[in-house]
Amino acid sequence: MSGGNGGSAAAGGLGVLQAGLDVVASLSGVRRCHILPHAGAGVKIDSTPIDAEASFSWLDIGYMELDGWTLPALAAIMASPSISFNQFLEKEKLKSNGSNFTDWFRHVRIFLSGGNLQYVLEAPLGPPPPPVVSEDVKNVYETRVIRYSQVQCAILCSLEAELQKWFEHRDPYELVHELKAIFETHVAVESYEVSKHFFGCMMEEGSSVSEHMLKMSGHAKKLSDLEILIPNQLGIHRVLQSLPPSYKNFVMNYNMQNMNK
């Protein structure tokens, strides 16, 4: 790609570039920035909020507060979640050396999210409620005991035999947090390597903008899986900085339009 046809190439790759920026934005913040074609080969920004899934844990609420809840609210907590145990157990088991911990932990989070069970990793089960609470609150706790037991069994089955023996009597909260502490060195090394790829990735002149954006979004997704969130504006700046000189006018127009917001 030469400087002479850079303008048309940049315009032609705008849609793909937008998709890449959308991916980075969606992985890095609560707002997604849309670059829309504008007169004079410029761009304009349309920021719309992204609704985040609200996670709920009744451990944050005292027993006496729970005692005053309405029956429909309690029924919602006790509703049987839809959990795909088979699909989760088909994934690769966590190796005893923790080399695949990042991928394994991502599968655990997806599995729990599918059944609205994220709260299992947010706090331990805790002691049973005092006898003075209502039967509804006692039923909620008993339901939680069942849920924790189900998740514990699923997670244990997703470990190699050596790890199963070691963590057999841990509840799921303790189990996962101890695994994270043991294998955090692997995560630290991996996060360093992935961040180096993300911040060092540069598009070569004449190469495919589509392939470049897929590569950039892949690095951003890996960072997100490692619980490293890229601020929205930083992610967009990194993408723009990774473009070759032939995209100079596009980057300039983008920044000028952004300054006017």
Residue 156: per-residue pLDDT? 92
CA-wise closest residue to 31 among 52, 49, 51 = 49
Residue 100: per-residue pLDDT? 84
Q: How far is CA 220 from the centre of its chain?
A: 10
Burial 98-133 (b: 16+ CB within 10 A, else e): bebbbebbbbbeebbeebbbebbbeeebeeebeeeb
CA-wise closest residue to 63 among 134, 145, 11, 147 = 134
**Residue in the block written with tokens 């897929």:** 214
Region label for 124, one of left (φ > 0), alpha (ψ between -120 and 50) or beta (otherwise):
beta
**Residue in the block written with tokens 């157990």:** 89
Mark the ranges of the chain whose per-residue pLDDT is less than 70.
1-85, 260-261
CA-wise closest residue to 119 among 54, 193, 182, 184 = 54
Residue 21: per-residue pLDDT? 58
**Residue in the block written with tokens 């039967």:** 135
Q: How far is CA 227 from the centre of its chain?
A: 7
Task: For 12-34, give the DSSP string.
Answer: HTHHHHHHHHHHHHHHH-SEEEE
